[in-house]
Amino acid sequence: MTDGTNELLGEVAVYYSNRLAQHGQTAAGVDWRDTDSQILRFDQLLKLVAAAKPYTLCDIGCGYGALLDYISDLGHSIRYIGLDVSSAMVNAARQRFVHNPNARFEIASRPDTLVDYSVASGIFNVKLERSQEEWEEYLLETLDVMNEVSTRGFAFNCLTSYSDADKMRRDLFYADPLHLFHICKSRYSRHVALLHDYGLYEFTMIVRK
């Protein structure tokens, strides 16, 4: 990551640490509207994985570990790495999963090992005062990392530029799904799926190798 990206991530860490302090280990604590929409996002991201066999997964922007809760409830056999730039989030997750030998949490933005899959949920939404150009550079830099460390594929979600104009906020980043689909197809894999039909003002991109 560049110095500019590290500064950006520092701002993001402060934002999400404050959300956790205000709302605790809840959907609102990681800046989602409610638990139902959080789970709906998880369902889209997990279309990436072949769950019939054990797999390794890196959750970039893991928060307090809600995705791992959901995967555990589904009964998947998984070795999990959760990364977050907020130390408060990582500490909360470590406490919650202290007895899970197949999970570890680190204060980081990229894993220190290869994994089968990586996912990123919500980390591209809140740009704060950053420009569109700065934020897109960070997004693409992160996708490059996800591609590099994921042997079987990766998935991420973004708010969509097809959102209602009167409801869009200047502190949020709305990505062009067609632009990112083209980037993923041309840069990462021929096997890319764009999911834009699940009732939220966002989309999920799945890149399989």
- Beta strand pairing call for 191-195 and 202-208: antiparallel
What is the C-alpha separation between 173 and 80, in angstroms, rounded? 28
Residue 58's SS3 state is: strand
Sign, CA dihedral 59-62-67-69, equals positive
Mean pLDDT of the chain, nearest integer? 93
How does pLDDT run across 49-70, given as a tens digit for each residue?
A: 999 999 999 999 999 999 999 9
- Beta strand pairing call for 150-160 and 202-208: antiparallel
165 band by pLDDT with thresholds 50, 70 and 90:
very high
pLDDT of 1 > 60? The answer is: no
Beta bridge partners of 119: 59, 155
Q: What pTM, to 2 d.p., does this model score? A: 0.92
Number of domains in the chain: 1
Residue 106's SS3 state is: strand
Q: Are 193 and 200 in contact (CB under 8 A)?
A: no
The domain that contains 126 carries what CATH number? 3.40.50.150
Domain that holds residue 196: 3-208
